[in-house]
Amino acid sequence: MSPLAFALVFMAGAALVGLWLATRYQRHAPGSVWSVAAHVLIANLATSAAFSLLVPAIGRVGTTTALMVVAFPPLVYFFVTCAWLLLLVQRLATSSSR
């Protein structure tokens, strides 16, 4: 499998898990614009930190373990926050049209 294909499948898997978590635990989604914005900011920082730690982790524990332990959770959180952002936009759009 080429690295590009693996990266696409890895990101799609993280997106699907994030979407599943966002729909499964929808009642735990933040309700205000500021809390969603804070989650988006934290997710971006966590993803950046994870990818800066990824290369040293690959050298210590191997590629697959490093990807699943270091990179996958922040990516899932990033996609959860993207789903929360879309839900918030949908709520705001439907409430303003009434």
pLDDT at 1: 86
pLDDT at 80: 97
pLDDT at 5: 94
The secondary element (H helix, E strand) that includes residue 33 is helix 33-61
* Sign, Cα dihedral of 47, 49, 50, 54: positive
Taking a C-beta distance cutoff of 8 angstroms, is the pair 70, 49 a contact? no
pLDDT at 95: 84
Sole residue written with tokens 């735990």: 28
pTM of the model: 0.89
Residue-level pLDDT, tens digit, the chain, 98 residues:
898 999 999 999 999 999 999 999 989 999 899 999 999 999 999 999 999 999 999 999 998 999 999 999 999 999 999 999 999 999 999 887 66
